Structure 1
Amino acid sequence: MPARFAPYLFGFVLSGLMSAVVSAIATLRNAGLADGFIGMWMNAWLLSWFIAFPVVLVVAPITRRLVALIVKKQEARA
């Protein structure tokens, strides 16, 4: 895969992993280890991932800029 796709692939993988963890915790807290837990979790995960991926693509550049501002401010103080 060409390097130009790296930010999109990063966002895809990150959003998938984070939405998997968060949806598993939320499903476990709400339903417990009941019969059908995996199915409930997969449904929650897919919906979460569908929302998380575009959000990560939009929020990541803003987050990078904010971090850059914070880092520059801290370097100026040192």
Structure 2
Amino acid sequence: MISAKYRTVVFAFFMALFMSGFMSLVISIFNVGLIDNIVSIWLAAWAFAFCVAFPTVILVAPVVHKLTTKIVRS
């Protein structure tokens, strides 16, 4: 198991993995349709999207957390 001190990084990894995977699939299908090689197109898009999404989640998550804390009542 991974130490609790890496919770933020593990959270960011899985959030980026699932969101980039789902969004790249949806956008790939939207752009080219359900063609024969959609899986290879999607996987290439997912690899690129994850490389952008992971550092983005690392940088944006603290800001989103602070905004959420301000907006939601205790």
- TM-score bracket, normalised by the shorter chain, equals over 0.9
In the alignment, structure 2 segments of 5+ residues that lack a partner are none
Structure 1 segments (4+ residues) deviating >2 Å:
none
Higher relative contact order (CA 8 A, sep 6+): 2
Partner of 2:19: 18
Count of aligned pairs: 73
Partner of 2:8: 7
Partner of 2:47: 46
Q: Over the residues paired in the alignment, what is the CA RMSD in angstroms?
A: 0.9
Higher helix share: 1
SS for the counterpart of 1:35 is coil
Larger Rg: 1
Alignment of structure 1 residues 67-78 onto 2, 5 Å: 67-72=68-73
Query: What is the CA distance between 1:55 and its match in structure 2?
Result: 0.2
Identity between Structure 1 and Structure 2 (%): 32
Alignment of structure 1 residues 27-46 onto 2, 5 Å: 27-46=28-47
- TM-score (norm: length of structure 2): 0.94
> 2:30 and 2:63 mapped to 1: Cα distance?
32
> 1:20 and 1:31 mapped to 2: Cα distance?
16
- TM-score (norm: length of structure 1): 0.89
